Structure 1
Amino acid sequence: MEAALVIGSSAHCSCVIHSLSSSAQIVQRRVVANRLRTVRFALNGGARGNKSTNSRPSVSSAPPLTSEISQNSKKMAVESSSLWRKLLKKVLVSLSSFKLAIAELVLIAALSSIGTVIDQGGVPEFYFKAYPEDHPFLGIFSWKVILALNFDHIYTAPYFLGLLALLAASLVACTSTRQVPLVKVARRWSFMKNPAGILKMDAAETLPDASLGELGVLLSGNGYEVFSEGSCLYAFKGLAGRLAPIGVHAALLLIMGGGLVSALGGYHGSVTIPEGLDLRLGDGLNPNGILATPSPTMDLNIHVNKFYIEQYPNGQVKQFFSDLSITDAKEGELLRKTISVNNPLRIAGATIYQTDWGISTVLVRIDDSEPFNLAMAPLRKGDNKLFGTLIPEGVLNSKGISILARDLESVVVYDKKGEFVGVRRVGSQKPIEVDGVNLVVDDMIGSTGLEVKMDPAVPVVYAGFGALMFTTCISYLSHSQIWALQKGSSIIVGGKSNRAKLSFEQELTGILDSVPEHVPNSAAK
């Protein structure tokens, strides 16, 4: 019986323990479920209104989770911003490298030299003839190399414009990371009250029995801006010398910007106009790039009133001139000027240069015929030009007469066999017999070779060069600073300069030597 009671009691206890364990598991499940509901509620922003009593406690636990997410987002944003600032700083430091700037300038100078010795803007056929593969220029530059590397228009090539952009970025980086901070430091001055700090400067001296006010008067008379407060004094001059490097960089950027606009936004062209004829200005122009915009100036006309050549005694061409008129359809002649090499005509943003000359036609008579024109073709270019024409066989009893000319003064006549017949001056009215006919050369009409440019960036480039020269001169000014401190009857003076330090020390010594000495009353007695 007792054993049965013990067994029964044990079984009862076991059931109680099992029941308590099951209850604990149920409570634990409910706690986990409540926590899950809290998380869902926080993530959904409380949008779902759970009416269960088990979900209500989750409302109070939602804000801490949202706050933690917000804090983490802010922290990530701050870290990202800091990372970008560090990256930008590294890029600016790299771009402001002096070695990089020198390398950029050397490359730009080298490419500019190539563009100077190789003709720019020609058609491919010109390079085929001028730079053949079997005789490359300087042993390197054949037409294949020139066209492949864009050396025929090097100043508008992507790599040249990219170098200019990189140099501009280097100038901006150098200005922002070096020059601007130097100016800020120069302007952020303060009085010095520590004698040891003043005495450590480049030039320093202690003046016994001297007055701070009299030192200030002497400094002001030497061009210094003087500030004083109590027993302290500060003076400076030449702050413009600190600002000048920024101006130099700005001028260079202005020049490069103008060059870019000129390369992509202007017009250029070469035209040949016979004497007595005109040409619409815009008909001879080609756009330089995508920024080129038409101008009303293009509707003006160029009329060649006269073309003539000035020669040396040996017959070589010395100078050639074109008497030009610029006309408008409504207002007539706007400007008339005789131009020559290095003496262009300028009007309304267009510049017309004298660059070349030629022979357009020759006016001849055969026997008693009426005068007629023969077009002259260029046979040889360069300094020793040669032009020629042919009277075809059968024209006015001609049997094939050749006429050659080197200038506008005379012609050389050959018969149908190519044998020399004689020379006649133009307008001499003296006939020459060739193959049984009499030939008279009445006149020869020249043609002028003009180069026309419309460059909207010329004023910008000129302004940039002017600013560059001015700021370069200003940059040689020394920025000098002087501090002084009155200690009893003595003055402690020190100063420094960013350049010409020896001259600054000599100037400061001269000023200090001029400060009058005050004899104490006890010494006077």
Structure 2
Amino acid sequence: MFTVAALMALGTVIEQGETPDFYFQKYPEENPVLGFFTWRWIFALGFDHMYSSPVFLGTLILLGASLMACTYTTQIPLVKVAKRWSFVHSPVSIRKQEYSDTLPRASIQDLGIILMGAGYEVFLKGPSLYAFKGLAGRFAPIGVHLALLLIMVGGTVSATGSFRGSVNVPQGLNFVIGDVLEPSGFLSTPSETFNTEVHVNRFYMDYYDSGEVSQFHSDLSLFDINGKEIMRKTISVNDPLRYGGITIYQTDWSLSALQVMRDEAGPYNLAMAPLKVNGDKKLYGTFLPVGDTDSTNLKGISMLARDTQSVVLYDQEGKFAGVRRPNSNLPIDIDGVKIIILEAIGSTGLDLKTDPGVPVVYAGFGFLMLTTCISFLSHTQIWALQDGTTVVVGGKTNRAKADFSDDMDFMLDQVPEIVEPSSSTRPESASG
């Protein structure tokens, strides 16, 4: 388990699924990490795809085999022993238990009634008594092992049988799911759903009062191979679309084009390109040529936008000319050119995946939480023997050992004491 945890931590530190050039630059041989770790180690051990690498999967197999062996050789025999009615016929054996006491004048039947009232299963055989409760606590470790095995099986299926992919689609365009998804392992098998076509009907964003983007949405339609719409949903961050085992997440956005009118002509779609800026802010720009487009000294009007709310325009000399809001239909005159910004066309960033192991992993974690809680229940066993008028009592538990003695003292104090009838001698009367 420590090795699995260490490999998972290493998979978090080492970037996963990058191109070879990325690892050549990040882990060069000239300056190895920790003095020895280079890209050669990463490729040789498969650490660029840690969770489907032979090292990681092999370690999971060893852990699974260890859990199954422990369950078969240790846990199951313990449960079988716990289920047996184990009567003890020797006071010496009872006194060797973790807890033992003696009731000088008591009945083993009365003790049995007290134990039944405390939730124990009680069995009597002649002068011997055996009682237990909390047998589920004995079964719980087996459940914990099975839950861990479920989680590992689900994780292995996810690592070797999934498909993943990302796509950036402008509003109004389509893509086929199978063209985007790539297999993650040797068990990845495509389905008929991969032929489904996704159409981006509309992309739009919500904003805070400060003007910052608060949420972005994509109105998607799914079409089967015959062109029939089979599903439509507007997705957003944390509200994905699920269909046929495929999940489509809203993860990113960009601007793909500006639709403008120029001197009452158009509309024209001007492609927008992302521009590098400091920090994580987004900025997109486009260019509207003015004059002779064959000239080597081509000039034009520049347009910049951070989102779909407003567009900043600059003249041919690069000077600020004004700001216009898309869809406002408010014209602006720059260097004798009349421009109207009709629409800022957004582009939605989508992540797609199929993960057949997720239901198994979720079931495993749910079962693990349940069985872990049950494992804290104490499995308690009590033995008693009637020795004349004396009852010898002993017991043990696998949990809450400090409380067990207090509980036993409390129950034994409730056992009634047998009071022997006093003998009275009547004097004989003289008969005449």
When structure 1 is superposed on structure 2, of 331-340 and 250-259 the one drifting more is: 331-340
**Partner residue, 1:274:** 170
Aligned CA distance change for structure 1 residues 509 and 338 (closer, same or farther; 3 Å): same
TM-score normalised by L of structure 2:
0.87
One-letter code aligned to 1:434: I
Distance across 1 between alignment mates of 2:213 and 2:393: 72
- Who is 1:54 aligned against? none
Amino acid at match of 1:520: E
1:361 CA displacement: 1.3
Q: In the alignment, is residue 104 of structure 1 matched against residue 16 of structure 2?
A: no
4+ long deviations beyond 4 Å? 124-129, 138-151, 395-398
Alignment of 1:90-129 (within 5 A): 101=1, 103-114=2-13, 118=15, 120-124=16-20
Q: Hey, what's the Cα distance between the residues in 1 that align with 2:253 and 2:44? A: 32
The 5-angstrom pairing of residues 346-361 of structure 1 reads 346-361=242-257
- Paired residue for 2:429? none
* Residue number in structure 1 paired with 2:239: 343
CA distance in 2, matches of 1:152, 1:421: 49
Structure 1 pair 387–331 and aligned structure 2 pair: CA distance change class (3 A): closer
Residue of structure 1 equivalent to 2:61: 165
d(CA) in 2 for partners of 1:435, 1:514:
103
CA positional deviation for 1:179: 2.5
Q: 1:329-478 residue pairs with structure 2 within 5 A?
A: 329-330=225-226, 332-380=228-276, 383-392=280-289, 394-395=292-293, 399-478=299-378
Deviations 1:250-289 (A, max 9, x none): 1111111111111111111111122222322222111111
Alignment of 1:54-93 (within 5 A): none
Query: Residues 272 and 285 of structure 2 are in contact (CA less than 8 Å); yes or no, is this contact kept in structure 1?
Result: yes
Q: Does 1:319 align with 2:236?
A: no
Instruction: Report deviation, 1:402.
Output: 2.3
Q: TM-score, normalised by structure 1?
A: 0.73
Unaligned 5+ segments in structure 1 are 1-100
1:9-31 per-position Cα deviation (integer Å, ceiling 9, x unaligned):
xxxxxxxxxxxxxxxxxxxxxxx
Matches of 1:109 and 1:268, distance apart in 2? 20
Displacement of 1:504 after TM fit?
Answer: 1.7
Deviates more, 1:476-485 or 1:301-310: 301-310
Aligned to 1:206: 102
- Whether contact under 8 Å (1:366, 1:396) holds in the other structure is no
Separation in structure 2 between the aligned mates of residue 189 and residue 306 of structure 1, nearest angstrom: 70
Q: 1:156 to 1:471 in 2, by over 3 A?
A: same
Within 5 Å, give how 1:202-241 maps onto structure 2: 202-241=98-137
For 1:396 and 1:523, how far apart are their aligned partners in 2?
A: 134
Distance (whole Å) between structure 1 residues aligned to residue 312 and residue 294 of structure 2:
20
In structure 2, what residue type is equivalent to 1:446? G
Moved more, 343-352 or 256-265: 343-352
Partners in 1 of 2:342 and 2:294 — Cα distance? Answer: 17
- Percent identity, aligned pairs only, is 56
Tell whether the 8 Å contact from 1:219 to 1:235 is kept in structure 2 after alignment: yes
1:355 positional shift: 0.4
Q: Is the CA contact (8 Å cut-off) linking 2:4 and 2:60 kept in structure 1? A: no
Match of 1:246 in 2: 142
User: Cα–Cα, structure 1 residues 243 and 373, in superposed 2: closer, same or farther, change >3 Å?
Assistant: same
Deviations 1:43-68 (A, max 9, x none): xxxxxxxxxxxxxxxxxxxxxxxxxx
Cα distance in 2 for partners of 1:323, 1:132 equals 42
CA distance in 1, matches of 2:79, 2:366: 23
Residue identity in the other structure for 2:252: D
Q: Secondary structure at the match of 2:210?
A: coil
Structure 2 portions without partners, runs of 5+: 426-432
Contact map agreement 1:484 1:491 (CA 8 A) in 2: yes
- Alpha-carbon contact 1:399-1:435 (below 8 Å) kept: no
Deviations 1:488-523 (A, max 9, x none): 112111000011012222222222111122211247
* Higher mean displacement: 367-376 or 444-453: 367-376
In terms of fraction of residues, the more helix-rich structure is 1
Shift of the alpha carbon at 1:417? Answer: 4.2
- Provide the C-alpha distance between the structure 1 equivalents of 2:171 and 2:354, rounded to a whole number of angstroms: 23
More strand by share: 2
- Determine helix, strand or coil for the equivalent of 2:81: helix
Alignment partner of 1:516 is 2:416:
yes
Deviations 1:467-506 (A, max 9, x none): 1011101100111000010111121110000110122222
RMSD in angstroms over aligned alpha carbons?
3.0
CA distance in 1 between counterparts of 2:40 and 2:336 reads 52
CA distance in 2, matches of 1:309, 1:230: 81
The AA in structure 2 aligned to 1:402 is S
Distance in 2 (CA, whole Å) between partners of 1:339 and 1:376 is 24
Q: In structure 2, which of residues 74, 77, 95 is the aligned counterpart of residue 178 of structure 1? A: 74
- Contact 1:342-1:353 at 8 Å conserved across structures: yes
Q: Is the 1:266–1:289 Cα contact (8 Å) retained in structure 2? A: yes
Matched, 1:490 2:390: yes
Aligned residues: 419
